[in-house]
Each structure stands twice: as structure tokens, then as C-alpha cells.
Amino acid sequence: MIERRVFALAGVLLALAPAPSAAQAALLPRSQAESLIDAGRWTEAEEMLYAGVRARPRDPIARARLGRYLAEKGALRAGLVLIEEAGEFGLPTTTVRSLATPVRTLLDWRERVASSARDATIPVRPPAGDGALMRFPISRGARGDTLWADLVPRMVASDSASGANPCVGIETIDGAVPSFDVANHVLALHADSRSALGAVGRRYPVLRSDHDVRVLVAPGRVRPLAEALRELTPRWWQLDLPHGWLVVR
């Protein structure tokens, strides 16, 4: 049974660590696979990325591209291994660092979420900013007050949880595979990171970069997460970033 705790868990998650470093997405030479991803042809892109590594197993660019893709799909550890191997095969250290830093940050957040995980439900509010998913309550420790911040589908952690338009990144709770009851504006966080695998609903593949979550809403049609949710108009949804799915009903 889900325990109702208004925002205590959210405060714990955000208090666990400082914001991650502001590493930028690394620039690898653009490939045909990326064009296929942009065009909503994700199965073809994945096949091409795997084929590139099979054909050129010591090619650092091919290995780094596949590693980045796997991390975007949710397989963080496998992606990180490939990125680090690309460094062993000659990828510049700065590029390896830029690719690997966001992945390590996500792994760190998932481990922190797992170490403190309990099922919880959190009443939330409609978002204030474009592209945000909802407004999320953060308990501010000794001050005893609550800050309402936009939950955004990009990596910002808690470093933007201040000012006129505070926001927190989805990585702070993605390990808890959040689900959302749209009608009642209630967010549920789950101690079992595999809970979404058994969720009932229609499944849409997702890819997550450090600046957005993209949803394949139909063959050839890719939408940012917030836009996809507006288009799909679900009564309930669950975002399973560890396994690369959005589940809606």
C-alpha cells in the first residue's frame, strides 16, 4: 500500500547531494543513426549503431555512439562501459569525460533514490513553465517552509530550485519510476524500480538526454515528453526511464 507523505520524500531526495556538474553534451560527429532517431525510425537507428560496433569493434566513435544511445535508452551502466572503452580505443579524454559525466550523475541519483526509497504519494500542482511536467513541493529543512518548483524533463537537479521560476530535474526522482494520476494531481514514487514493467497501459519508447526526454508517439513521430503527454491526454501515466518506456492509460 502506498504511504501518503505529502513532500517529505521529495525533500530527502533533493537534500541528499549537491547539484551535478554542468557538463555539456559531448559532440561526436553526426551520424546517420542520429538522423534516423530524429526521424522517428528508432529500430533502424539501433540496428545501425550495433552494426557499426560489430563491423569496427575498436572504432572509438562507433563505440561511443552506441554507449550514448544505450544510456539514453536507460541502460546507464552498459552505456558507461562502452563510453569508457571508447576512451581506451582513442577517444579524446575530454570527449569521454563530457559523455560520461551525465551518465555517472544519473547513476549516482538512482543509487541515492534506491538507498532511501519508500513508496509515497505527493500532491502536486499544474506546471508554471513551458515544457515542465508539474509543480513539485520541496521541504526546505530547518526553515520549515515549502518551495514549489517545476519538475522538468532535463538534468538540472536542484541547482535551479530558487529564484522567480524554480525548477528541479527529472533525474532527482527517475529511479523511483514516477507515476501520475492526472485527474487528482497526485504523483506516486515507487520503491521498486521495476514496478513499471508490470504496469497496465500502452507503452511508448523514450530516449533521455541531459536536456530532454523524447517520446516515439508513432512511427516517424518524435515529441518532447511534455508535448507528447498533451497529445496523448492520458488519465494516468508512468515514466520508466530506467527501462526506456512511457506507460499511459
Residues 221 and 178 in one domain: yes
Q: Which of 71, 96, 114 is the last residue of a domain?
A: 114
Average of per-residue pLDDT values in the chain: 88
Q: Which three cell numbers stand for residue 228?
A: 507528447
Residues 153 and 229 in one domain: yes
For residues 201-226, average pLDDT: 96
Name the pLDDT band for 2 (thresholds 50, 70, 90): very low
Q: Which of 63, 88, 114 is the last residue of a domain?
A: 114
pLDDT score of 22: 42
pLDDT score of 160: 61
> Residue 1: pLDDT above 70?
no
Residues 12 and 56 in one domain: no
Instruction: Name, of 17-21, 95-99, 127-131, the range with top average pLDDT.
Output: 95-99
Residues 133 and 234 in one domain: yes
Residues 124 and 220 in one domain: yes
Residue type at 180 in one-letter notation: F
CA distances 109 to 55, 138, 216, 224, 242, Å, are 35, 17, 25, 22, 12
- Picking from 121, 125, 142, the residue whose alpha carbon sits closest to that of residue 189 is 121
pLDDT score of 162: 64
- Picking from 167, 94, 161, 93, the residue whose alpha carbon sits closest to that of residue 130 is 167
pLDDT score of 136: 86
> Residue 58: pLDDT above 50?
yes
Residue partners of 40: CB distance under 8 A and separation at least 6: 216, 218, 219, 220, 221, 222
- pTM of the complete model: 0.87
pLDDT score of 158: 54
125 occurs within a structural domain: yes
Domain with residue 56: its CATH number is 1.25.40.10
Name the pLDDT band for 17 (thresholds 50, 70, 90): very low
> Residue 50: pLDDT above 50?
yes
26 occurs within a structural domain: no
22 occurs within a structural domain: no
Residues 170 and 96 in one domain: no
25 occurs within a structural domain: no
pLDDT score of 46: 99
Residues 169 and 69 in one domain: no
23 occurs within a structural domain: no
SS3 call for 223 = strand
Residues 100 and 211 in one domain: no
Q: Which three cell numbers stand for residue 82?
A: 562502452
- pLDDT tens track for 118-176: 899 999 999 998 899 999 888 776 666 788 999 999 887 555 666 677 888 999 899 99
Residues 121 and 105 in one domain: no
Residues 46 and 144 in one domain: no
Could you tell me the residue range of the domain that residue 147 belongs to? 3-16+117-248
pLDDT score of 115: 76
Name the pLDDT band for 35 (thresholds 50, 70, 90): very high
Q: Which of 64, 91, 114 is the last residue of a domain?
A: 114
Name the pLDDT band for 101 (thresholds 50, 70, 90): very high
103 occurs within a structural domain: yes
Residues 140 and 201 in one domain: yes
212 occurs within a structural domain: yes
Strands (E), 131-175: 134-139, 146-152, 167-169
- Picking from 67, 91, 69, the residue whose alpha carbon sits closest to that of residue 79 is 67
- pLDDT tens track for 75-88: 999 999 999 999 99
Residues 131 and 221 in one domain: yes
Number of structural domains in the chain: 2
Greater confidence, 143 or 68? 68
pLDDT score of 146: 85
169 occurs within a structural domain: yes
